[in-house]
Structure 1
Amino acid sequence: MSRTFFVTGTDTEVGKTAVSCALLRAAAAQGFKTAAVKPVAAGCDPSGHNEDALQLMAAMTAELDYAQVNPVALEPAIAPHIAAARAGKTVQASRLAGLCRGVMLSGADFILIEGAGGWRVPISPRETLADLAAQLQVEVILVVGMRLGCINHALLTAEAIRRDGLKLAGWIANQPAGEMNCYRENLETLQRMLPAPCLGEVPHLVPWSADIAAGSIDLQQL
């Protein structure tokens, strides 16, 4: 039976894509066929490709076309709803959900749908990426960027996920910029207060390696 998770973050630039790649590698190491979707990406090269989507494609085992992985590719690296408006595009959660379901039915065992920014990032004047997760009715994995302010951001995000009727399946402590001051104390506070298991602590790696990071993740708790 396949399982699908929506990956969100406590903010932008917290390492959602890096952690998603590590999750895909960890699942593949257990023999699962993996796939991923980046429904909306703002920030693309002249060929219309987004670096996050390309990283997901390199990390997963399924062979999908770029358009399946990243159906809405917006050129400027700005908020998705602003980028879409400037490009004259309409982004709808229902359409994105249909595209995601196509990948969900592709035969993969472990599927990730990666959001953009945090939980309430708008995709149009009336909808956010949270509406996409709600329409898909999938469990959520939260990437917590371990830096000053992360406790407040993590608790508020977990509360919003619950209020939207979805389950927070687990969270991952990621260190995108090195170890924060009082890291252990912050981690212990999050472990005590977040209503979901910590799936792992991903260290700051230079150079980055999804395979090495995968060793820090415990999928058995999902």
Structure 2
Amino acid sequence: MAKKTFFVTGTDTGVGKTMVSAAILEAAKAAGKRTLGMKPIASGCDNTPEGLRNDDALMLQRAATEALAYDLVNPIALEPAIAPHVAAVQAGRVVTAGRLVGFCRGMQMRPADLLLIEGAGGWRVPLNDRETYSAVPRELGVPVILVVSLKLGCINHALLTAEAILNDGLVLAGWVANRAEPVAMSCEQETLSYLTEQLPVPCLGVMPWIVTANPKTLSEYLNIDSLFEN
């Protein structure tokens, strides 16, 4: 079964969780690790001859070392590019934390050194009227990697998200700073220094903005050694 499993969340939607997750998978691959990646639920899928396909899930599928059928990487694919709980209702699907946990546990049974489970949106994004996505890593009991988009307001977003993760009784394994926009934020270095001092876990890397960015190139900006300690 997977030796190490991490849940990847972000301070918001559109912060680069998928690119960071794929870069971590590439970095692990370069270190000789066997890897798996999954995005249990994805909205904004394209209707293709093979069925609904999501670009983020396809990126994770390509970055992993172990070959998997698409339906295992992304078991719940929704076409509307809107919040997952709304997309599920529109599609007539029922999404529960328990169901997603079941998909994840099935993936954990596969042999690998590293499994990354990418969430959707931020830590409290709804799955239905009663549950948020944070219930999934809580039930799994897996450590969390936080992706922070370097933009105005990110300090508040990062500290609140980290606080919520820790208050939910989970381990925050590390965080990644990602420049998700082409123009650097004002006082970026000062922001990075503050977050490095305030977040009680290692910064796994600072990802630059690259027009033609790909996970393999960005993996060079990561140091994931701490993820495999203990």
* TM superposition score category, shorter chain reference: over 0.9
CA distance in 2, matches of 1:197, 1:135: 24
The answer to whether 1:221 aligns with 2:222 is no
AA in 2 matched with 1:62: E
The answer to whether 1:29 aligns with 2:30 is yes
CA distance in 1, matches of 2:186, 2:25: 29
Deviation digits for residues 54-86 of structure 1 (CA, Å, limit 9, x no counterpart): 010111111111110001111101011011111
Question: What secondary structure does 1:84 align onto?
Answer: helix
Deviation digits for residues 105-133 of structure 1 (CA, Å, limit 9, x no counterpart): 11011110000010000011111110001
Aligned match of 2:20: 19
CA distance in 2, matches of 1:81, 1:114: 16
Aligned match of 1:194: 199
RMSD: 0.9
Aligned match of 2:43: 42
TM-score by length of 2: 0.95
Aligned match of 2:186: 181
Q: What's the CA shift for 1:46?
A: 1.0
TM-score by length of 1: 0.98
Aligned residues: 222
AA in 2 matched with 1:144: V
Q: Which deviates the most, 174-183 or 5-14?
A: 174-183
Superposed, 1:37-186 pairs within 5 Å as: 37-47=38-48, 48-178=52-182, 179-186=184-191
The answer to whether 1:3 aligns with 2:7 is no
Q: What's the CA shift for 1:221?
A: 2.1
Name stretches of at least 5 consecutive residues in structure 2 with no aligned partner: none
CA distance in 1, matches of 2:38, 2:87: 19
CA distance in 2, matches of 1:200, 1:40: 26
Question: What secondary structure does 2:60 align onto?
Answer: helix
Aligned match of 2:213: 208
Deviation digits for residues 13-42 of structure 1 (CA, Å, limit 9, x no counterpart): 000000001000000000001001101101
